[in-house]
Amino acid sequence: MWEASVEAQIRSAQERGEFDNLPGAGKPIPGRNAPYDEAWWLKSFMEREKLPSHLLLPTPLQLRRRIEQLPAEVRDLRTEQAVRDFCGTLNAEIMAWLRTPTGPRVVVRPVDVDEVVRRWREERRASAAPSTPARSAEPSRTPRRSWPWRRRPAA
């Protein structure tokens, strides 16, 4: 009885044309011939929402990844204090995880802030040095051009 009611509603919707011009009509079902993947819904959600896949990593691996990417992340910071604050925030997250570790057993140590600042300074010095052209010790010998017009004497 219930199936007949549902079938009648579907049939009447088809007759009214409610299923015409749906997106994907006449196209093959995506992934139909692919092997079954238990996490298909998760992968499609992350692709649809444009979420990075590293968010699926357990906490210690996420922390290790952030430590590896630290030089690139602090490269554009303008002040030493900003670099120290960034490292302090990361170290606070690492210490919070070390107090109550979850996930796989992975060695994660706090970042040496002074070492990060030292490397940040060296990188800034190295990037600033080539941008300034070397001045020659000898003054330029190009003659000065005189103006094509001269001031008239006051009458």
- Could you report the per-residue pLDDT of 25-71, keeping only the tens digit for each? 888 887 788 888 888 888 889 999 999 888 888 999 999 999 999 99
> pLDDT class for 137, splitting at 50, 70, 90?
low
* pLDDT single digits (tens) 86-130: 999 999 999 999 999 998 999 999 999 999 999 999 999 988 876
Among 14-23, 63-72, 140-149, name the one with the lowest average pLDDT. 140-149
DSSP 32: T
Give the contacts of 59 (CB within 8 A, at least 6 positions apart).
97, 102, 103
Q: b/e for 7-42, b at 16 or more Cβ within 10 A? A: eeeeeeeeeeeeeeeeeeeeeeeeeeeeeeeeeeee
